[in-house]
Structure 1
Amino acid sequence: AIGGAAWMAVMATFNTATQSSAPPWVRSRAVALHTVSALGSFAIGSALWGAVSGVAGLPLTLAVAALAMAGGVFLARGFPLRMGDAHEVTPGTLGVELFIKDEPHPDDGPVSVELAYRIRDGEAQEFLHAVTQLRASRRRDGATLWRIYRDLGDPSRYVERFIVTSWADYLHQRARTTLADQQLEAQVHGFLREGERVTAQHYIAER
């Protein structure tokens, strides 16, 4: 009874952590992946321990399984289960405006997006550390390639460039921005020179 209650409590905790850590647009997919992973591990574990018990006997198999569970408790200390914060899943407002003359077809692409930053002197390393944290959110929301470039003609100017498969995917990426993403962007913008703003350029592949 205690084992069954513990099993149910653990599964409920995992489900809660999954749902609280995923933004609305991907929450159902995250829950589905968690369910498949959990049920799949149950099936594989049942087959594995059944095969072991057929060879080594039930008492020894239970002892080994108990030791493995005890070892898992110590290994889990390095991977704590963290509940998602509200700002990590709350949609943010649209950031840089789209200054485009002609709206591309949704299937057109790939799309190259370039964001230019002109930062204060002497803060390059701090800026690079901050802007690199944007890579994960760009890739998570649909970017297939992300890089940060330094302008050889102007050492204070850096260009963030990422590629999105299509124009529709890029619009989806913009809509998926969370408050946590915008907080990271605000940190990056804090390195801009006084009076400077981030400038954006959008390119669509023709060949």
Structure 2
Amino acid sequence: PELRAVLVRTVAFMVCASALWALMPVVARDRGLPSSGYGVLLGSLGLGAVLGAGILPQLRDRVSADKRVGGASVVFSLATLGLGFFSSLPLLCLAMGAAGVAWMVVTSGLNVMVQSCVAIWVKARALATYLLVFQGTLAVGSLLWGLVAARTSLEPTLAAAAVGLVLGVVATWRWRLERTERIDVRPVALLPEPHIEHAPDPLEGPVLVTAEYIVDPQQAGDFVLAMRRLGRLRRRDGAMRWGLFRDPARPGRYLETFVLESWAEHLRQVDRATLADRAIDERARSFLQDVDEPRVTHLVAARAPDDLGPVTSGV
């Protein structure tokens, strides 16, 4: 959920912020600025970005992530509006300087949030996804705003982009960013590490892991809801399939099952949980009766003597 919030806010900002980058050369041409004038505009934006980087540490200490990104988006909106309606070079440079500050606050903040809200083992993939969304939205948005400007004119196009930036903040406010700064993704062991005298080959699989829970039947509904959240963690950490089954002959007995591709994948799964996941795991365990931990078993798919593969359906 935290990564999804960052990606949604990235799209909401970039799709309209791309108008400034796409149309700045056209604005410089229409204002009669020489190539050096366009360079001054870019330099002003770069200077603003440097200033933005300088004030970021103070902002992070005093302002929440949502307010930082939302406020900077509004500033970028005003700068986009100024680019469309200012005619003098000093005012345009002032607008570009403000845009640079806002750009650095938003993009640097989102970049850091992506890396801080996911576990270390998946950080590279999360960052790659973020960059794909960031650059893809910038490219598509630039194309769309260019087409709009070609059919209308610069001023209404930039005004529409400015309004879109503000509306984007309002529309995506429910995807909160504050939790990305509080989430603790340090690794912690939630699953017991299997201690087996004759451990399987790391490439053997699939592997079936089961966990038996004995709970109060009166709390079964709340327990199933808690296990649903735990199931998301299992799938996130490598499980191909996950399920929760109840014993009709013994009310209150539940069996959690999940399947992994190989024994090595299960060993990696043990190391993928984070401290932020502990509350979900502890919530599920809080329903246990008489014991503190579920009874866990590990099973590896059987193989026939002809060695044509594991004797499991669909594998």
TM-score, L = length of structure 2? 0.61
Q: 1:75-114, aligned counterparts within 5 Å? A: 75-82=171-178, 83-87=180-184, 89-93=185-189, 95-114=191-210
Contact in 2 for aligned 1:116/1:198 (Cα 8 Å): yes
Per the TM alignment, residue 159 of structure 1 is displaced from its structure 2 partner at its CA by: 0.6
Shift of the 102–153 alpha-carbon distance from structure 1 to 2, 3 Å rule, reads farther
Tell me by how many angstroms 1:99 deviates: 5.0
Equivalence for 1:55: 151
2:234 alignment partner, one of 138, 141, 144: 138
CA-to-aligned-CA distance 1:70-115 (integer Å, 9 cap, x gap): 211210212122324353x011135324254532222222211111
Cα distance in 1 for residues equivalent to 2:127 and 2:287: 38
Give the CA deviation at 1:10: 0.1
Highest Rg: 1 or 2?
A: 2
Contiguous gaps of at least 5 residues in structure 2: 1-96, 302-309
1:84/1:70 CA distance change after superposition, 3 Å? closer
The structure with the greater share of residues assigned to strand is 1
Q: Map 1:1-207; keep pairs closer than 5 Å.
A: 1-82=97-178, 83-87=180-184, 89-93=185-189, 95-195=191-291, 197-205=293-301, 206-207=310-311
User: Contact 2:193–2:270 (CA<8 Å) still a contact in 1?
Assistant: no
Shift, 1:120, TM fit: 2.3
**Alpha-carbon shift at residue 17 of structure 1 (Å):** 1.0
SS in structure 2 at match of 1:103: coil
Between the two proteins, the alignment pairs up a number of residues equal to 206
More helix per residue: 2
Rounded to whole Å, the distance in 2 between the matches of 1:46 and 1:93 is 46
* Contact map agreement 1:110 1:204 (CA 8 A) in 2: yes
Deviation of the 1:175 alpha carbon: 0.8
CA shift at 1:161, angstroms? 0.9
Residue by residue over 1:137-175, the C-alpha shift from the partner in whole angstroms, topping out at 9 and shown as x without a partner, is 111111121111101221110011111112111111111
Structure with higher RCO (Cα < 8 A, 6+ apart): 1
Report the RMSD for the aligned CA atoms in angstroms: 1.8
Amino acid at match of 2:264: A
Counterparts of 1:37 and 1:48, CA distance in 2: 16
Q: Distance in 1 between matches of 2:252 and 2:195?
A: 24
What is the TM-score of this pair, normalised by structure 1? Answer: 0.91
